[in-house]
Amino acid sequence: MEQRAYGSTGKQFPILSFGAQRIVDAHNCTEEQAIRIVNRAIDAGITYFDTAPSYSNGQSEERLGKAFQARRKDVHLVTKTHDRTRDGSLKLLEESLKRLQTDYVDEWRLHNVMTMEELDRCFAPGGALEALIEAKEQGIVKSLSISGHTNPRVQLEAIDRHPFDSVLVALSAADHFIYSFAHEFLPKANEKGVAIVGMKVFALGKLAPWYEKALGYTFSLPISTAIVGMESMEQLERNLSVAQSFAPMPETERVEFFKEIAHLANPEVLRWKASEWTSGQWYVRA
């Protein structure tokens, strides 16, 4: 698999990374299957794993912890805090470390910062950013990050205010049509040398019928890697095979792909760009 630089961190990762939200009972993935999928991913060269304490009440973290065991040093492990306060975030981190059976995480992320008001809360005295900085100073976390999938202006503001090592943002082909991180966020983030991680590659499964093109589109963007949610061995093998034979998508093919999927650009499908998850109304920018 093609390896790319991870911003200015000096690290490199393959273009395909692992989103671990779905290796849980709620997605009909047993613990035994989860452990096998994760180990197969590592054997195939995947090194970057994304999880969060909020994924199935910690079950995603717990399973990664069990799967890594002796392989902890071979992987780049990312978890998050959805709490916007310092104290709440530090408590979440302590619990994450226990579930992940480790004493450090490679990257700790402010999870899903949707609005400027939420960003302000994270940056306020006693806010979550203080926890991130403290944990990094203590060596418990090695690098800092933020994620968002709604309004690129919020993540642009975040990288202006703080030198995050990476940012995780929504970069599916369907995201091209509204509040586009590809257009509004990537150029400036790349200029600053921030590592960019793509998500929503399959628009929560809606782009599954076009899975090769969906991966090809996102891998063709100027990003470091993309975390893809995979919940079965079959999905992992298919995505590995696309990543292993990846060649940049020509512009002509990209336009034809946009035409095929334009009908998906609505707030029922792109829920992460809706005002509320199931509101059916677009998020409105101030």
Ligand X SMILES: NC(=O)c1ccc[n+]([C@@H]2O[C@H](COP(=O)([O-])OP(=O)(O)OC[C@H]3O[C@@H](n4cnc5c(N)ncnc54)[C@H](OP(=O)(O)O)[C@@H]3O)[C@@H](O)[C@H]2O)c1
Nearest distance, CB of residue 25 and ligand X, angstroms: 14
Nearest distance, CB of residue 263 and ligand X, angstroms: 17
Nearer to ligand X, 59 or 125 (CB): 59
Which residues are near ligand X by CB under 6 A? 19-22, 50, 111-112, 147, 149, 168, 199-205, 208, 211, 227-231, 235, 238-239
Cα 234 from chain centroid (whole Å): 21
Nearer to ligand X, 50 or 165 (CB): 50
Residues 6+ apart with CB under 8 A from 140: 93, 97, 103, 104, 105
* Residue 5: Cβ within 10 Å count: 13
DSSP 107-144: EEEE----SHHHHHHHHSTTBHHHHHHHHHHTTSBS-E
* Half-sphere exposure at residue 219, Cβ-oriented, CA atoms within 13 angstroms: 27
Residue 149: both structure tokens together: 């999938």
Nearest distance, CB of residue 229 and ligand X, angstroms: 3
Distance between CA 75 and CA 78 in Å, rounded? Answer: 10
Nearer to ligand X, 140 or 233 (CB): 233
Nearer to ligand X, 68 or 125 (CB): 68
Nearest distance, CB of residue 70 and ligand X, angstroms: 23
Distance between CA 89 and CA 124 in Å, rounded? Answer: 14
Nearest distance, CB of residue 3 and ligand X, angstroms: 20
Distance between CA 216 and CA 202 in Å, rounded? Answer: 11
Residues 6+ apart with CB under 8 A from 66: 31, 35, 101
Nearest distance, CB of residue 198 and ligand X, angstroms: 8
Nearer to ligand X, 135 or 201 (CB): 201
Nearer to ligand X, 135 or 270 (CB): 270
Residue of this chain nearest to ligand X (CB atom): 19
* Residue 173: Cβ within 10 Å count: 30
